[in-house]
Structure 1
Amino acid sequence: MAKKVKMKGVDRISDLPDPILIHILSFLSTIIAARTSILSTRWRNLFTLVSNLNFELDGCISRWENRLRLRKFNSSTIKSFRCFVDRVLSFHGRTNVDKFRLKFRLKRGKCVDSDSACRWISGALMRGVKHLDLNISLDKFTFPDALFTCSSLVTLKLDIVLVLHVPEDIHFPNLETLHLKSVKFFDDNSVKSLFSSCSNLQDVVIENCSMMNVKSFRISHPLLRSLTIIRPCYTSNCWLTIDAPCLSNFKYIIDHLVAGYSLKNLESIVSADIQFLIENVDLQADARHAATIFREIYRVRSLVLSLYSLELLLSCEPFPAFPTLVELETPYDKAEQLMSSTDKGLETLLSHCPELENLAFRQVLFFDVLISLPEEVPSCLSFKVKAIEISNFKEDEDCIRKAKYILENGRALEKLTIRTSICCRFNKLKISQVLFAYPRKSKQCFILIV
């Protein structure tokens, strides 16, 4: 019988073709990829052929410091990082760069100098970078002029505290994704020039950006498909204008109301996440403010609402209808409080959503919002709703009664998930016994109590 030959210490990875090894290295930070050059002569220059450059100053910390979560950057560490980036870019020569990511956030007095950062960014632009991601902290930093006329850019992500003064000759013919975080817009013209320069723009994220100098923040684009606006600041004097006929995903999280809205051509929105996170004294005034948004997204199929957004929606006059809504969710946010009393309850919303199939209330007590049990059962509950998730279920007569109402009227119901606020296993068992024994309109209905 032939003996089995055991292969020990065989380096199968090094036998892979260069394109595969380079592809593997492209998923690593550049400093880790560079360390592979000491493995053997086979690996010595492979990292210089990687088109994805990812420079993070955190990568210069020793493994021991990283374990201790120490972030002590001395002058020698910063100097080593600066020399390393310069050396890698020089190795690349004129080789094209597909992705370029630069990340460092340091305290005052311990920082990479602005000239070096500007030189590195310029180097990436000269090499035809397609995806540029800058997450940096610098004093008195200005972008190189070449950035605003870079025709190769497809993705631009900026997380940097600075005043974004956009020149009039800006031109991004191939830019599809634009993410801005923490920037301060210089004026209305900067906003207008920025968005009008991107003829192929499809994805926009505006997060924690200052609108102090902006009176009209206008996003008007015929190809835009995804728009996210998260907690803009200094918005009290800013008017938000959105005109996007192809927009399908809209996320709007705000804790300071804007001066007003001008919204049009939003009928194509499929998924919306509307979260008003601050409650003002005048609920009706806020509801009139929010009604402008709700009326424009009426064709939405999936809708996420914060607790206060739901309260504002239920306070709208006249009440907006959602003829195509399929999914409704309130996300979990421990910072939010339960809703105050409103004239209308969830039953009003259900009666205006004939196609609703999935309900998920992950924080607010579902049955606190469902004020009444109408004799005329909403058509969606009778024929469409397939899944309901309820959180903070309590062992009281009102909750049990409303749960029975759902079971006896939900003809299409497939799953009812109840998350109790009760720690006692015995009380959970009592709820289970009552609901499991109650007759259900839907034969395929499954009840899960956790």
Structure 2
Amino acid sequence: MEKQKQAAETEESLYTAMADDRLTQLPIHILHHILCFLSQKEALRTCLLSKQWRHIGSTRPNLEFSERFDNTQEKSVTVVTVVNRILQGFCDQNLSVHQLRLEIRRSDLRPVTTLLEKWIPMIPAFNIKVLKLNILFNTQDLPSAIFLAESLEELHLCNCRLCPVESVRLKSLRALTLEQKLLA
């Protein structure tokens, strides 16, 4: 009898909480802005709240991908696959990415080079404002399309190999950080 009473009270409190859930009723761009203050891990946890939050958490406009150095080739391919899949999803849904941080630390960068060649030219389409790249052991030139991204406000490049370019159109750029750069 006591368990039934507790279950009824719990169900009633859940119903009351759902009825008072005004956060979910906010426009999606405001919810995305709120999620930007959380880490990616915390934002992904919001996917468990409800069906609507599953979509909101998975379309958070601040993307962070980090791979630490280890000796397994599979991990690099997996990170590249995840980044490809997520960016393709954003592209298919015509969603903006406000901030993209990619940190790769490994010796075999062939999959990463392919990733950069595919997605760097898409920076204007994503309307990326902040781009942070840290690619250790990089021996390939960064695609020159990065210097044509008019939407970039902040560009942080660490361990990225740069080659001379003919044209630079970083009209919105307010901050440029170059760390341990390699000039070709």
Q: TM-score, normalising length from structure 1?
A: 0.33
Structure 2 CA distance for aligned equivalents of residues 113 and 97 of structure 1:
19
Structure-2 residue corresponding to 1:171: 169
For 2:34, which of 24, 27, 33 is the aligned residue? 24
* Correspondence 1:114 to 2:113: yes
Q: Report 1:81-230 matches (<5 A).
A: 81-93=79-91, 94-106=94-106, 108-109=107-108, 112-162=111-161, 164-186=162-184
Cα distance change, pair 42–36 in 1 and its aligned pair in 2 (3 A): same
Deviation at 1:95?
2.0
- In the alignment, structure 1 segments of 5+ residues that lack a partner are 59-70, 187-450
Quick one: which of 49, 59, 67 aligns to 1:57? 67
Q: Distance in 1 between matches of 2:172 and 2:50?
A: 40
Deviation per residue, 1:37-81 (Å, 9 max, x gap): 3443122211344222222225xxxxxxxxxxxx64633333332
Shift in alpha-carbon separation, 1:143–1:91, aligned structure 2, 3 A: same
Partner residue in 1 for 2:53: 43
Q: CA deviation at 1:177?
A: 0.7
C-alpha RMSD of matched pairs (Å):
3.2
Q: TM-score with structure 2 length normalisation? A: 0.72
CA shift for structure 1 position 20: 4.1
- In the alignment, the residues of structure 2 paired with residue 160 and residue 12 of structure 1 have an alpha-carbon distance, to the nearest angstrom, of 51
- Check whether the contact 2:120–2:145 (CA below 8 A) recurs between aligned residues: no
Secondary structure of 1:156's counterpart equals strand
Structure 1 residues 14 and 33, CA gap change in structure 2 (3 angstroms): farther
| Max Rg structure | 1
Higher helix share: 2
Q: Which one-letter code corresponds to 2:181 in the other structure?
A: V
Percent of matched pairs sharing the same residue: 27
CA deviation vs aligned residue, 1:295-347 (integer Å, no higher than 9, x gap): xxxxxxxxxxxxxxxxxxxxxxxxxxxxxxxxxxxxxxxxxxxxxxxxxxxxx
Distance 1:90 1:109, change over 3 A: closer
Instruction: Provide the C-alpha distance between the structure 1 equivalents of 2:152 and 2:169, rounded to a whole number of angstroms.
Output: 10
Superposed counterparts of 1:21-420, under 5 Å: 21-30=31-40, 33-57=43-67, 72=70, 74-93=72-91, 94-106=94-106, 108-109=107-108, 112-162=111-161, 164-186=162-184
| Partner secondary structure for residue 56 of structure 1 | strand
Q: Is this contact kept in 1: 2:142–2:160, CA < 8 A?
A: no
Q: What amino acid does structure 2 have at the position aligned with 1:179? A: T
The Cα shift of 1:183 comes to 0.9
CA drift at 1:178: 0.8
Between the aligned partners of 2:70 and 2:48, the Cα distance in structure 1 is 27
Equivalence for 1:428: none
Aligned pair count reads 168
Contact 1:48 1:91 in 2 (8 A): no
Q: CA deviation at 1:135?
A: 1.4
Report the Cα offset of residue 103 of structure 1. Answer: 1.2
SS at match of 1:44: helix
> Contact conserved, 1:103 with 1:136, CA < 8 A, in 2?
yes
1:385-429 superposed Cα distances (whole Å, 9 cap, x missing partner):
xxxxxxxxxxxxxxxxxxxxxxxxxxxxxxxxxxxxxxxxxxxxx
Distance (Å, rounded) in 1 between the aligned partners of 2:86 and 2:141: 23
Letter in 2 for 1:97: V
Instruction: Give the 3-state SS of the residue equivalent to 2:47 in structure 1.
Output: helix
What SS does the corresponding residue of 2:77 show, helix, strand or coil? helix
Paired letter, 1:46: I
The alpha-carbon distance between structure 1 residues 41 and 170, as it changes in their structure 2 partners (threshold 3 A), is: same
Which whole-Å CA distance do the structure 2 matches of 1:150 and 1:82 have between them?
Answer: 22
CA contact (8 A) 2:99 2:131 kept: yes
After superposition, the Cα gap between the structure-2 partners of 1:153 and 1:121, relative to the gap in structure 1 and judged at 3 Å, is same
Shift of 1:99: 1.5
